Amino acid sequence: MVFLFRSGSLKEKLNIIFKATRTHARNLAIFAVIYKTTVLLLRHAPPSGKEASYDTFLGGLLGGYIVFGRNSRSSVNQQIVTYVFARVILALAKMSVQKGGLVPVQLREQVGGNAWPMFASVSWGAVMWLFRWYPETIQPSMRSSMQYIYTNADHWGGFRDFLIYNK
C-alpha cells in the first residue's frame, strides 16, 4: 500500500515499511509478554491456584491497554486493533448460531447461511457512506486509499494516471 498510495523516493518508502513492520512486531511481542505473564500470575494466585475462566480475558485486557490503548494511536496500532475487533465480531457471530447460542435452533441454518453476505454488505455500505459524508472519521491511511480509488480515479488524463499513479 505504501508503494501505491504514498509519495516519496524508494528509500523513503522502504523506510516507512521498515518502521511499520518493526512497530508491528515489537508491539505484538510486548503484548505477548504482558499477556503470558499476567495469565501465569493469575493462574498461580490464591485462592484456587488454578486457571480461572477470566484469566485470559484479564491478560488480554491488561496487555491491550498497555500496548495498544494507552497513548498509542499510531496507524499500525489502529490497524492491529481494528483487525482484532473484526475477528472478535465474526467469532461472536459464529458463537451466536452454534448449539447453545443466541439464535433459536430453527433459525440457525438460515442465519448462518446469510451472516457473511450481510456482514460484508453492511460493512461496505457503511464505509462508503462514511467516506462520502464524513470522510474525516475514517482512519487516515484508509481514507487516503479510498480518495485515490474513488475520487481521484474520476479524473485521469492518460494511461499513467489510470494504472500507475493518479494524484
| Structure confidence by residue, pLDDT tens digits, 105-141 | 778 777 777 878 888 899 999 999 999 999 999 988 8
* Biggest CA-to-CA distance, the chain: 72
Give the DSSP H/E element, type plus range, for residue 37: helix 10-43
Radius of gyration of the chain (CA): 21
What gap in Å lies between CA 76 and CA 84, rounded to an integer?
A: 12
| Structure confidence by residue, pLDDT tens digits, 29-50 | 999 999 999 999 999 887 777 8
| Residue 166: pLDDT over 60 | no
Task: Give every CB contact of residue 60 below 8 A, 6+ residues apart in sequence.
Answer: 35
Q: What nine digits make up the cell of 86?
A: 473484526
